[in-house]
Chain A
Amino acid sequence: MDEDKFAVYLKSRFGIMLSEEFGIEEKTSKVYVYSKDLEKLGLRWVHRRGLLAGKLNTLFGIKPSLDFTLVFGHLAQKNCAVISDEEVAQIFAGEDMVLKDSSTCEDGLVMLKNVKGMGVAVALNKGGTLQSLVQKDRQIAKEQVF
């Protein structure tokens, strides 16, 4: 099942295992993570449950969403990198940056964490260059980078 595909991907790529209080649901190639409390609802026609956690068939294969990373990114144990507050702003301005320690991440998707260890974004690592994948409607203006 595709929900399992997403869970398997999270574990193999990032070392992330979601606790049993969360369920995963796939609908038309989008994956949602929801609180299992919602299973008490007993309503057949639900538009969606929980938050959009990722997409299955992107250019990069399975891609966790920005918002999934903000909630669960702190759980990443591999293919993750810590960036400074200034670099967080840069990534959100759509700018690329150099991965400081390229030995810690394989090429491909990388979860970025802030200095407090909280997930902040997903980026694409290409030979040590981190390409911002923050979508346009979530980007900030470059003037706001401090």
Chain B
Amino acid sequence: MSRSCLPISAALLVSAVAVGDEVVPPEVISKVAAVPPVGAPPALHEHVVLELTITDDGVVHDVVVIESAGEAWDQAAVTALKQWRFKPALHQGKTVASRTQLTFNVAAPPPTPDAGLAAQPDGGELLEAPDAGQAPAPERQPPEYTTRVLGRAEPKSTAPSDFHIEVGDLRIVPRKTSTEFLKLAPGILITNEGGEGHPDQIFLRGFDAREGQDIELTAEGMPINESGNLHGNGYADLHFIIPELIENLRVVEGPFDPAQGNYAVAGSADFELGLQQKGLTAKAAAGTFDTQRLVLLWGPPGESSRSFAGVQLYRTGGFGQNRDAQYAALMGQYELPLSQSATAYIGVNGYAAKYHSAGVLRADDVEAGRVGFYDTYDNRLGGDTLRASIYGAIHHHGGPFVQQHQVFLTVRNARLTDNFTGFLLDVQGQLQNPHDQRGDALDRNSLAITVGAKGFGRYRARVLDHNHELTLGYFGRFDLAEGTQQRLIAGTNTPYRRDVDLDSKLTDVGLYANADIHPFDWLTLRGGVRADLFTFNVHDNCAVQDVRRPSSQNPPGDQSCISQMDLGKYREPDERVSALGSSIMPRGTLLLGPFAGVTLSGAAGQGVRSIDPQYVSQNIETPFASIFAWEGGAQWAHRWQSLDASARAVVFGTRVDKDLVFSEQAGRNIIGGATRRLGGLVAARARGGFFDLSLNGTYVHSAFEDTGFVVPYVPDLVLRADGAVFHALPWRLFAHDLRAQLGVGYTFVGRRALPYGQRSDVISVLDANVELTWRWLTLGVSCTNLLNTRYRLGEYNYASDFHTSGAFPTLVPQRHFSAGPPRQLLFSLAVNLGGQS
């Protein structure tokens, strides 16, 4: 059978862009001629319309047929196109992946410049016509098509430590939770004494943000912090995010961007969601501690990475005692191009978890052999979580205007039982019937419904031959939060006391203006102001818990919420308080350069953390924790062909007037005094054709302003390294490449300051993961804590009494710790179907 050439011409048509602006479309660098199908029926049309993704390094992916000329003709066109190479599209001067449609003309007429070759006049290969009787193609023009930039516009840097991090190949580095991706940014330590289902505790640049109280956390722009949560105002549980669906991170380490809102004290972090892998991916993993994980992912071919669906099921027996956990997460998002100038996306997610936690142990009990290093005092500790959210956004640009609007709705319930002090706090009250210490176990439950919207409008003008922008943005959220906190009798789950019972209605309305001015090529000024108004309406269902002179005839006894005043005069046990407060926060950034790839920058700004509803008083201007932060630094970036390198060095300082400090008696962070921080960081990343390496280190001195004493528990030195190497192996299996990937992550945390002049142990943990991919099959083995280091993840000094050492209570401070996980192996198998069209 003779093979003849197919008269295929391709037209790469670029007439507009759908997202963002300043887009330079991709250009063809090299083409491969298509081979016409032999013996195929005549083409149905004169052209095959294909849609493809051109990656940011110019490679063709994810080709789908939009308009078919017949299966054989289509396949011939697709086969050829996959071998083409492109110069990638540019967005705001940077290479980006793009989604483009391309026409292969099947009929004899050669393409003409006005036949849609707007940006690439020589887009196809003109070949001979086939012999077999092909009907003359009717005269018609190929349709106009668009190039659509995939992903998101790169955010503009608002500070020297504004990190926009593409996870990329560092995805191979073992990370058990989505929170651990934050370690790609400098100065972040993740710990967790509450178990695998419990939200991670985040330390950022000298702040103990606990479960997010000092970091504004968002996923795809949707707020995660929970206002009014009793475990901490701003509590954030990131476990609902399936790690495979994290595409990029934006971490701003300080309040420097006017778009940052409540809780952006230490900074903010946005998880940009996406799935590069197309088709259906099923991944199963099993390993030590009876751990199993099953993930199903769907990346619809032909859609952007922002369209995906994912399900994750996870269970573990946990290491040591009482660390079992089970959870399930579901996420879906679809990005819909509405027109050449508008796109929209809608997303949903759901999450449910049940877990136990080991809590803390006293070091003296471990040293005396009374408990083991990985044991627990109380097997009731743990919690459960439910979450459901829906969100959507629309993005539109037209001429100099860009606008985006987003709405979100989240329903969440979180229950958590913990006990940091054992049997210490249940002191005998006069009103109470005589009792022994019944135990300090706290049972907290918070239900929150959050609804809100955010958005911005941006106007661009060109003045004096430079682009300038003005952005006006808004943010609004309403929270309906219910929270109860009870104390449980040891050995049972019977509540004996109600500490807190609040129903809160909270609003936060924010407006901001942000200017981006470029007076000269080497000078950029960014900044503006943000104003937030907070309202609080708090119904305290247990407002009175003591009475000085109770009724002798009707004593309140063991009631927690008392309905009498002195001498038995009746009152309702509840009370409502409302308050309002506002804050105006200027923020600004100055950038000089780049000079030989180096950009110098400085930033300053104010941030705010709203008051916990537990502290709200009637008509009192609600006190805010406000922060002032400044920093200066230098950033360098360079690209040599396939090697991308960047580095930065930053010095920073912060002052917070009401910092949060951990209280073991409250089992959470409570408001402390004013603190200052002074520190520096370095970060670097290098990416090449076979490796990706990220290094960062941060040192910060955190001290109380009045005494100069060091702030306890926060790390001053944090080092982190993430590395990945990947390459095809020299062997082939059934004529297909074998590709190997190795990822390594290393964390070092210096001795943390503890109360009473103590220092913790260092943390030094190495994780590794290796994967082998053959066609659609990937085998992997992941190992966390590779060296099986026995270490203390969290350490504390305070008084507790767990009834472990004799009849007399222990009332003076002692060292406590939560154990870091030992070595864990996880073997995985992943199958991808339909990943390449």
Q: Do A and B bind each other?
A: no
By a beta-carbon cutoff of 8 Å, the part of chain B in contact with chain A is: none
